[in-house]
Amino acid sequence: MMRTIPNNEDNNNNNEEVGNDYEGSLKKGPWTPDEDAILIDYVNTYGEGNWNSVPKNSGLSRCGKSCRLRWANHLRPNLKKGAFSPEEERIIVDLHAKLGNKWARMASQLPGRTDNEIKNFWNTRIKRRERAGLPIYPPEVIRDATLYHLREEQYFEKPYNSSLSSSSFPPLLSSYPKKLNASNHYHALVSPKKLNASNHYHALVNPKKNQPISLYGSSSNLFNYHGFVVSNNSAQPVSNDYQYYNNGFNASSIMPPLAPSSVSSSQTPPDSVTPASSNVSAVDGFIGASSKVNSEQYEVAPFSPQGNSGLLGALVVEGQSILRNNKIKSEDSTVAAAAEKSSNKRKSIVIMENAERGTTVESALLKKKNSGKSSNETPMSSSGKKQIGKEASLEEMDVSWDDDLCSLLNNFPTEMPTPEWYSTGGDNKAEPLGRESQPSAPPPAPTVDQELGWNVGTSWNNMPSIC
DNA sequence: AAATGGCCCAACCGCAAGTAC
DNA sequence: CGTACTTGCGGTTGGGCCATT
């Protein structure tokens, strides 16, 4: 049993950080086995905590801080030693996308690993990727993290606090339009992973306050929307232009990749109405979205990464990178240009509009459209669709969002989908997003993962070294 | 074989939050 | 309520090791 920790701190001259008896004799540098043994014995006897008393009662010439660190990082039981497994590496990357440089929190998710280990790992191998110009986060992680932040920000009501470390809490949703509800409008968070998991598009729909429904199980709702989902293989436009009714949104509704001729800046004057099914409205690397209101197309650009964090910047850059590597750029310079333009201000959300309309939001949209022809008009997409900036969304769509979120999240899968790469069984790994969800798509080019060195199961050590 | 450079990791430092007095 | 102290966290540093030249 543990004994009571002797506490002699009430004696004078015990503060090692100011001139005292300890300071001159406090040792620094690597720990010796003898010191380790003393510390282990001490902790086994008295337990953890009260670290400043350790040097005083154990005879160690180390400050309490140093003792705590030594114990936590090297001596405490159940510490895992050795290199990170591929599984652990993936978890770290995933957690970093979600948490930023919260090493301690990440360590709490990795039993036996310390924050210092994770930090070192990140600062060496992962940063090496960054320096090499390779993406830090695989596409799946980007999607997961985006969704995670959506949920974190809104469900838990943790607005971005600019005073936080820029690397610790991405302002992903700081400008997200939180006031986007009207009784006849459906807003949905869409989990693209479900495209992968089951060929069904899980949309969470809240048609009316306190009356949440899901696309699943609903047979009487008509939605019009366009979306854009970046998968491993390609950027996949999604749409339900076929006036999809009923239980979800299966693979057949995923349109083939953009044909180069489908959108072109030369063929689409800014104000012309583009047929809804003709193209993808938002090419932002994640999930772009547009809504269709009275046959007019509007892009929704909810996100503006001001006060960008490292993560966020990386996400944006990676989104662009993904797009480029999926040859969107080469296939359609206009769309690519839109992507460049929009990628710095959008993240993933798909907003669905009920086809039955005549609502506040719609009015706001139309108002925006009709009045926004001035020089400060929001940028046009490649298809001439109008982008509704965050200001419009926030200011004009003045309906409570919080309730909707609760409803949405009630319908949301209770657990975050497990990333495919967490599946350690080599034979039954889930296919990356986009493969099984595009049965009629042309044979895929080398996947983004492959091209960018994101092969599942490979070690970071395989990456090229930096010159 | 020696020099050099890069990587890795343990440890330190400063700061901030929490707690006790 | 203010101050002192403890603890924890994240950034940074420095030394050892190893590969390359």
Q: State the SS3 of A51-119.
A: HHHHHHHHCCCCCHHHHHHHHHHHHCCCCCCCCCCHHHHHHHHHHHHHHCCCHHHHHHCCCCCCHHHHH
Instruction: Compute the average pLDDT of residues A14-32.
Output: 56
Q: What pLDDT band is residue A76 in, cutting at 50, 70 and 90?
A: confident
Is the Cα dihedral A29, A32, A34, A40 positive or negative? positive
* Region at A210 (left for phi over 0; alpha for psi -120 to 50; beta for the rest): left
pLDDT at A304 > cutoff 50: no
Q: Tell me the per-residue pLDDT of A278-303, one tens digit each, with 9 for 90 and over.
A: 222 222 222 333 333 333 332 222 22
Q: Is the CB of A464 under 7 A from strand C?
A: no
- Helices first, then strands: H and E counts in chain A: 16, 9
Is the pLDDT at A227 greater than 80, yes or no?
no
pLDDT at position A451: 40
Return the CA Rg of chain A.
26
Other Cβ atoms within 10 Å of A436 Cβ, number: 15
Mean pLDDT of chain A: 44
Q: pLDDT class for A147, splitting at 50, 70, 90? A: low
Using alpha carbons only, give the angle A329, A335, A341 rounded to the nearest 5 degrees: 95
| Span A360-395, pLDDT tens digits | 222 222 233 333 333 333 222 222 222 222 222 222
Region A429-444 average pLDDT: 28
Instruction: Report which secondary-structure segment, H or E, holds A448.
Output: helix A448-452
What is the secondary structure of A6-47 as a DSSP string?
Answer: P--TTSTT--TTSSSTTGGG---SSPPHHHHHHHHHHHHHH-
CB count within 10 Å of CB A199 equals 18
User: Which of the residue ranges A49-53, A64-68, A91-95, A183-187 would you say has the lowest mean pLDDT?
Assistant: A183-187
Least confident of A50-54, A94-98, A419-423: A419-423
Closest CA to A306 of A345, A347, A337: A345
Residue with tokens 């008009």: A377
CB A31 within 8 A of CB A68: no
SS (H, E, C) A352-366: CEECCCCCHHHHHHH
Instruction: Quote the CA–CA distance of A104 and A181 in Å, as a whole number.
Output: 38
Other beta carbons within 10 angstroms of residue A218's beta carbon come to 17
Name all domains of chain A by residue range, CATH numbers in brackets: 26-75 (1.10.10.60), 86-131 (1.10.10.60), 139-411 (no CATH)
Q: Are A107 and A66 in contact (CB under 8 A)?
A: no
Which is more confidently placed, A147 or A257? A147
Q: What's residue A146's pLDDT? A: 62
* pLDDT attached to residue A46: 83
d(CA A458, CA A442): 27
For the segment A357-362, the average pLDDT, to the nearest whole number, is 24
The packing angle between helices A310-325 and A86-99, to 10°, is 120
Q: Give me the pLDDT at residue A129, please.
A: 76
Mapping DSSP to helix (H, G, I), strand (E, B) and coil, where does residue A156 land?
A: coil
Nucleotide nearest A29, CA–C1', reads B11
Q: Which bases of chain C are under 7 A from a protein CB atom?
A: 5-12
pLDDT at A25: 67
What local confidence, expressed as pLDDT, does residue A149 receive? 59
Confidence tier at A79 by pLDDT (50, 70, 90): confident
CA of A36 to C1' of C10 (A): 25
pLDDT at residue A96 tops 70? yes
**SS3 helix, strand, coil % of chain A, rounded to 5?**
40, 10, 50
* pLDDT beyond 50 at A140: yes
pLDDT tier at A161, thresholds 50, 70, 90: very low
Top-ranked range on mean pLDDT: pick from A73-87, A213-227, A359-373, A383-397? A73-87
| A64 CB below 7 A from strand C atoms | yes
Contact (Cβ atoms closer than 8 angstroms) between residue A55 and residue A7: no
Query: What pLDDT is recorded for position A148?
Result: 66
Q: What is the pLDDT of residue A123?
A: 84
User: Which residue is closest, via its CA, to the C1' of C14?
Assistant: A29
SS3 labels along A268-333: CCCCCCCCHHHCCCCCCCCEEEEEEECCEEEEECCCCCCCCCHHHHHHHHHHHHHHHHCCHHHHCH
CA–C1' A107–C9 (A): 12
CB-to-strand B contacts below 7 angstroms: A 27-31, 62, 65-66, 69-70, 73-74, 83, 116-117, 119-121, 123-125, 128, 461, 465-466
CA of A164 to C1' of B16 (A): 12
Residues 126-185 of A with CB under 7 A from strand C: 165, 167-168
Distance, in Å, from the CA atom of A124 to the CA atom of A102, rounded to the nearest integer, reads: 16
b/e burial code for range A337-359 (CB count within 10 A of at least 16 → b): ebbebbbbbbbbbbbbbbeebeb
Whether A378 and A301 have beta carbons less than 8 Å apart is answered as yes
Per-residue model confidence as pLDDT tens digits over A4-19:
443 333 333 333 333 3
- Contact (Cβ atoms closer than 8 angstroms) between residue A298 and residue A275: no
Q: Are A132 and A463 in contact (CB under 8 A)?
A: yes
